Structure 1
Amino acid sequence: MTALSLTSRHAAGALSRQERGNGWIVSASTLAAIAVAGAMATSSIVFSEPAVADILMAAVIVGLPLLGVTRFGTLTLLNFAAWLAFVALGLAACSVSTNIDTAITHQVVTLFLALGALVLAGYVSADPEPRFRLVMNCYVVGCLIATAAAFAGYFQLIPSAYDLFTNFGRARGTFKDPNVLGAALAPAIVYTAWVTLRHPIRHAMVAAVVCVPLCLALLLSFSRGAWASTAFSLVMVAWLGLVTTRRVADIQRLTVVAVIGAITLVLAIGAALRLEAVGGLFEERASLDQSYDQGPDGRFGGQRKAVGLILDHPLGIGTYTFRDTYHPEEAHNVYLSQFMNAGWLGGLLYSISVFGTLAAGVFAIRKRTALQGPIIVTTAAFMGVVLEGAIIDTDHWRHFFILMGLTWGLVDATLTPPVSEFRHDD
């Protein structure tokens, strides 16, 4: 079974049907795998909300527990309880929001995304290895769809595609914002990098080929935050892979992949920068001194205002009140935003869940099980999103909740292994 194949043990079961009378019976695990695969493969197509992925995720949330294919562990339940309390506090603070209806909608969407993370965690925990592969393989497919759209728009390969798939000269693919495109590509890049480092050569070569266009699309998003967070996650996945291996062959592979990968990316990026439009915008975006970052109405000025409001309002000021009353836009810091949206207690619960998830992932990596590799992938990728949250609001990014749910489920599986024993084949 290839690491980047769209199949898993359950997806393969889609071809296994049992004839009874005049009908065909499809197993519960097969139905669940189809629903999850569809939700992950369409997770990058979000021109509008609700998106197709949201409809499919709603089916996942309702259907998987009914099909009996989930198992909820301690870490998952504790974190979801924290998210329930966080949303409840956010809803309470909506009473002082400037636009109550919009604020309530925001909190309801947060609850929906948290429910998705809960069910995804329970699904993965029940049979972690094949289901992790299913989720990530289909997520990569979704990112490839977004990448193809980004290329079609940015290079005007299709008439009228430029206006549809770009924004202010930056590729956005099938997302509404170039920053979200760049950030969403990061987990797929981290996963393909891991496959390149640890899986058999044939699979590694496929992953390497897939990774190149993802990296070019990341470049064309011109998202400084996504560039930094992806680089950080790649460094972490390489470092965690290095410190957890006991095989000389893995160290040699890491060295070879790092050298070849760096040379390939430099050549590819260099070729892209030779294009006048790419080179000019890259030079502008690479600067750390952007006009919209400076001054009282800039990004950093807004964050200073947010800190003052948090200190003065322990119960919060309500969702969207900051941008409607105090500043032209949101604070561009998800942690400050959550303290303003849900008060001191709500912001604290959010931070405990996010950083607690990271801590649980790092702790679980220490165990040499078959899940060590998958946990390295999700933890390293989640680290990048957590880091990027300091400069942008990530609270409704779908891949944030996907990574969080995967981490919960994988860690729970290491705490309470399923009936079948783990196979350590990394």
Structure 2
Amino acid sequence: MSAGSTRASFVVYVALIFGLNLLFLPRYVSRNVFLLGVSTVSAFAVLIGLPAYIIGDYELAWLQIQLYSAKFQLPIFGTEIQFLQSIFVNPNLLGVLTFAGAFGALVLTVENAQKRQFLPISVSAALLFVNSFGMYLTHARASWIAFCLASTVYLGYVLLGRESVPYSVISLALLTFLFFAGIFLSIIPIDTHGRFALWTGGLRAFLDAPSPLGYGLINTHEAIAPYVPDPAFRGYSPHNSYVQIFLNTGIIGGLMYVLIVFGSIIEGIVRKNTVDVPMLGFALGFAVHQMFSVYTLFNTAVASILSALVFGYLICGYRK
């Protein structure tokens, strides 16, 4: 890669943003300010997206609000509705934002209730309802799983204390592994839309990487295409952040990335007496969510910024 190429400048630009999100902003911006901010922005995206179910696609200033073409069935009424997409090009993007917004609102609601601050409780509870409802309408199942994992860790801590944290995190990680194994072995009937084929193709492409630093900043869609056995899924991304980072940066960068993500979670388990438990649960949710997407912490996507900030608050949030 030429030192003067736009790709080289992209690396420098993203590295700066990554450093700010991971090490700078969490030290100087309150964790609750972050949670309130993301839950408010997420609720705004949901609220301006809901009218599309009544009036159809529309424009709000420079924003294009629309619904996704795919549909899913409501369990209560038995009718099919389109996925909520709002201002994004894909409902999964709104899904990860509403996951962050819903969990942030949940933490604020519980903490306000513990402090008996009744006005903030009503605000945070409303944000929790709006974001949870929006997350359901996106039909982003990875976001559902992430929210359930993060909420279980946090609510277990609230009800059972800090001693429950290591057990809940390890148990949830094991259950998640068994869940994936059940899907892979077709024991659990869930359509993965070819993700296992894409993951396998990505891993095979990684093993054939030209160097320990991987392929560099390439189009991973094309890199894994020859290794994907099913022609129906060729031309797609790996749909897995870990596979993506190993392809781009090789064994060296991939292991460093895994160390940041899972090393931070393991350290949080070890330091259970001083860790910020809500951010530990948040980080576990994002760690699992990255198995279904390719945003990675080292990028400029909405999910990348959010996840990097979450891990930053986890790393910087230990009590003295």
Same fold (TM over 0.5): yes
Quick one: which amino acid aligns to residue 151 of structure 2?
L
RMSD of aligned Cα (Å): 2.8
Aligned residue for 2:196? 300
Alignment of 1:26-425 (within 5 A): 94=1, 103-104=7-8, 107-117=11-21, 118-124=23-29, 131-156=30-55, 159-160=58-59, 164-168=65-69, 169-200=82-113, 201=116, 202=118, 203-244=120-161, 288-289=190-191, 292-293=193-194, 299-313=195-209, 314-327=212-225, 328-367=235-274, 375-395=276-296, 396=299, 397-411=304-318, 414=319, 417=320
- TM-score w.r.t. the length of structure 1 is 0.55
Structure 1 residues 300, 241: CA separation in 2 closer, same or farther (over 3 Å shift)?
same
1:325 to partner: Cα distance:
3.9
Residue 149 of structure 1: how far off its partner (Å): 2.1
Q: Deviations over 1:308-351 (max 9, x none)?
A: 12222233122334213432121111111111101101100011
CA distance in 1 between partners of 2:268 and 2:52 (Å): 38
What letter corresponds to residue 257 of structure 2 in structure 1?
Y
Larger radius of gyration: 1
* Residue aligned with 2:55, SS: coil
Q: Structure 2 CA distance, aligned partners of 1:317 and 1:158?
A: 40
| Change over 3 Å in CA distance of 1:348–1:154 after alignment to 2 | farther
**Corresponding residue of 1:251:** none
Work out the CA distance in 1 between the residues paired with 2:17 and 2:241.
Answer: 16
Shift in Å, 1:389:
1.0
Residue aligned with 1:353, SS: helix
Any unmatched runs of 5+ in structure 2? 70-81, 164-188, 226-234
**AA matched with 2:278:** V
- The structural deviation recorded for 1:106 is 5.2
SS in 2 for 1:171: strand
Using the alignment, how far apart are the partners of 1:340 and 1:102 within structure 2? 20
The answer to whether the 8 Å contact 1:196/1:207 transfers is yes
Residue aligned with 1:164, SS: strand
Relative to structure 1, the CA distance from residue 192 to residue 305 in structure 2 (aligned partners, 3 Å threshold; closer, same or farther) is same
Task: Describe the shift of the 1:155–1:320 C-alpha distance in structure 2 as closer, same or farther (beyond 3 A).
Answer: farther
Q: 1:400 to 1:138 in 2, by over 3 A?
A: same
- Distance (Å, rounded) in 1 between the aligned partners of 2:53 and 2:18: 34
SS of match in other structure, 1:167 = strand
Cα-to-partner distance string for 1:220-241 (whole Å, 9 max, x where unaligned): 1111111111111111211122
**Structure 1 stretches lacking a partner, 5+ long:** 1-93, 125-130, 247-286, 294-298, 418-426
- Find the counterpart in structure 1 of residue 181 from structure 2: none
Q: CA deviation at 1:176?
A: 3.4
1:388-411, CA deviations, whole angstroms, 9 ceiling, x for partnerless residues?
A: 111211313221112122222212
Q: Which of the pair is proportionally richer in strand?
A: 2
Q: 1:303 to 1:136 in 2, by over 3 A?
A: same
**What SS does the corresponding residue of 1:111 show, helix, strand or coil?**
helix
C-alpha distance in 2, partners of 1:231/1:151?
A: 23
Partner-residue secondary structure (3-state), 1:338:
helix
Residue 289 of structure 1 and its aligned partner are, at CA, apart by: 1.8
C-alpha contact 1:143 1:214 (8 A) present in aligned 2: yes
Aligned residues: 259
Contact 1:116 1:401 in 2 (8 A): no
Are the counterparts in 1 of residues 162 and 272 from structure 2 also a CA contact under 8 Å? Answer: no
Quote the Cα distance in structure 2 between the aligned partners of 1:109 and 1:324: 25
The CA distance in 1 between the partners of 2:198 and 2:57, in whole Å, is 39
Deviation digits for residues 247-280 of structure 1, max 9, x if unmatched?
xxxxxxxxxxxxxxxxxxxxxxxxxxxxxxxxxx
Report the Cα distance in structure 1 between the residues aligned to 2:9 and 2:238, rounded to whole angstroms.
19
Query: Against the structure 1 CA distance between its residues 104 and 345, is the aligned structure 2 distance closer, same or farther, given a 3 Å change threshold?
Result: same
Query: Structure 2-normalised TM-score?
Result: 0.71
2:307 partner amino acid: F
Q: Is the 8 A contact 2:43 2:101 kept in 1?
A: no
Instruction: Name the SS for the 2:135 alignment partner.
Output: helix
Deviation at 1:215, TM superposition (A): 0.7
